[in-house]
Chain A
Amino acid sequence: MPKGQSSIKHRVRAVILLVSIVVLLITATLFVAYEVISFRAQLVQNLSTLAAVIADNIAAPLAFNSEETAEEILSALKAEPDIVAASVFDREGNVFAKYPLQSQTHLLPAQLENAGLRFTADALVVFQPVIKEKKSIGTLYLRASLQGLYGRFWRYGAIGGAVLIGSLAVAFVLSTLLQKRISDPILALTSAAQKVSQAGDYSVRAPKLTEDELGTLTDAVNRMLAETQANQSRLAEQARLLNLTFDAILVRDAHNRITYWNRGAEELYGFTQEEALGKVSHELLRTEFPDSLEQIEEKLHRDNRWLGESVQTRKDGGKIHVASRWTLDRDAQGKQASTLEINTDITERKAFQAGLERLVAERTAKLQETVTELEAFSYSVSHDMRAPLRAMQGYAKALLKDYEDKLDSQAAHYLERISRASNRLDSLIQDVLAYSRVAKGEITLHPVDLERLIQDILPNHPEFQPPQACLLMEKPLHLVLGHEACLTQCVTNLLGNAVKFVPSGVVPQIRVRTELLDGRVRVWFEDNGIGIDTLHHDRIFEIFGQVHPEKKYGGTGIGLAIVRKAVQRMGGEVGVESEIGQGSRFWFILNEAKT
């Protein structure tokens, strides 16, 4: 900008010159005025003195009416070149003598005027009374030309002008030299600023030419440039890193128009930055949102963020699945300023997932088929197996009864053993069936009154009642949330164990009580049986986890497994506290049923 450059230079120079001119003019004017005033004062002084002296000298000739003497005295005025005319008036006001003799009449006053000095246009005149013996005998008139004054005035003016011109010339040269000290640093700053703004090159620094405020300003500008350069390189680094990511990163304004589009977005969608900027993102990408855009935007404005999966279309028409993360950026007023959107290509993952889901579905179907077959198999096996068992028992008993007198005691004993073995196999089958019913049957939870449930069980089980056993319920028993059939099975099995595993000759005593545990109920079944070694406490709940000899106490080894499975299905836990010879305290915990 040469115009700007010359402008600052010229302005600085003009300021300096203007100041010089004004100062010089004021100085010269004051000087000339002073000279004129002091010259005039001197002129007045001189003329007064001269007038007094001449008036004194001329008194005698005037008194004696000696015209010649008077003119002689007046002619002495030749020594005073300024005095251009003089005259003496007598008492009557007639001219008595004059100087010079051929004096032009226009230089002399037409008539006598009052005593005193006064300036006229081109002269200083004085009327001086001529005093003789304290009486005015006439008047002296002197006229001093102001030529000298004017001449001096013009001389001073010329000198002043010359000085002014000379000074201005010097000031011009000096200002040309001095303005560089001001304008050069500014011009340097300007040129640095131009380079930054035109080339965007923040590495430019302005040279520091002075140590004054401009130097400070240059330092400050350079510091700002350094900071901007650091920020810019940081930004550039961040932008470079943003471009490194595989994710598509875009920024949208409040109208969903794209304002930023990273390299990841270019690669993912195939649209270049130029093609994408300014476009409405979901129109460009033909986005299929999981919800309506209105719902998504509502959520975005509520939570400041939205996560979801969308289907989008690439430039080449290919559909891709993306995991989308939106973050709302608000301005100082809290309004939507822009939205940052990061999209990750999950097309492969989706395909893989779909494949997996298909595989899972296929396998589940196969598994279901197998389970169904197994169920049919176990159903059929258990029922078909029970029929021959019944036959074995039936025929054994029939033999015993019908051929009682033909069988010896050994044969009768063998038949008893056949009958007992088939009996046991039947119990096993029944328990296995019960276990599978509990394990896979449908479970619905309802409030169950354990007191009533136990009362209902008792009539079918004389072995739980006196005189065979003594069952004590510590009432009230709290209501539990359970499945009636499952609970019946559990309670029957636990009571069955309590009466089964007792030392011979001891009447089983069972105490049933409940304990509230913060919204849950623990149901205790405490017996006076043989107890269980703590070593076995985990094993007894497993299928066929029986720890006591079957021959001595009977049992299939499935009862507690059924209890555990049933309690688990009802959302509870089961456990035991017991030691050998100390009886057992079985418990299960279920949710409390609120009445």
Chain B
Amino acid sequence: MTTKRALLLVEDNEDDVFLMQRALQEAAVINPLLVLEDGQQALDYLGGAGKYCDRTEYPLPAVVFLDLKLPYKSGHDVLKWIRQQKEFDPLVVVVLTSSNEPYDLSKSYALGANSYLVKPPTPEQLLDLAKAFKWYWLEYNRFEEA
């Protein structure tokens, strides 16, 4: 059962944003991809603060791709905040980072990440990842309807 709900990418590096968009596109992911550049924006967006209160224009995503190194609020801060909000229990958070450090990994799971992905070094591997993501999270995984 394929979900059509939006995906949120929190990533400050525009190159990585470009590569991710391109990989998802090549993997034929048709869900809308929202992009935010820092941790604070992510909190505002998810919390519906300011202009983000309009959920038709800014819908709540089914999956958040979360980088760890972010301006203002780190990925861990964002993750911690999300898991403190009862209404985001069903929100799937996929940490997508260049860090392969055991500390980052264990802290992410401790804070309630659903998955931890290290950014692949080549576009080919990133494409594989996008395909696997689509296949698992978007086609097989069941989400609560928003």
Contact = CB atoms under 8 A, between A and B. Distances in A.
Nearest to A396: B123
Interface in A389-434: 389-391, 393-395, 397-398, 419, 423, 426, 430, 433
Nearest to A441: B102
B16 A387 contact: yes
Contacts of B100: 430, 433
Contacts of A397: 122-124
B126 interface: yes
B99 interface: yes
B15 A423 contact: no
A158 B126 CA distance: 161
B145 interface: no
A389 B22 contact: no
A155 B22 CA distance: 173
A379 interface: yes
A430 B123 CA distance: 17
Counting chain A residues whose Cβ lies within 8 A of the other chain, the interface size class is 20 to 34
A437 interface: yes
Interface residues of B, number: 18
Interface in B14-35: 15-16, 18-19, 22
A485 B102 CA distance: 10
A394 B18 contact: yes
Interface string B102-126: 1000000000000000010111101
A262 to B, nearest CB: 63
Contacts, number: 52
Contact of A387 (B15, B102, B124): B15
A388 B121 contact: no
A383 B121 CA distance: 12
B15 A390 contact: yes
A72 to B, nearest CB: 176
Nearest to A383: B98
B122 A393 contact: yes
B19 A394 contact: yes
Interface string A196-236: 00000000000000000000000000000000000000000
9 contacts: A383-B69, A387-B13, A387-B98, A389-B121, A390-B15, A390-B119, A398-B22, A437-B101, A441-B102
Interface of B: 13, 15-16, 18-19, 22, 69, 98-102, 119, 121-124, 126
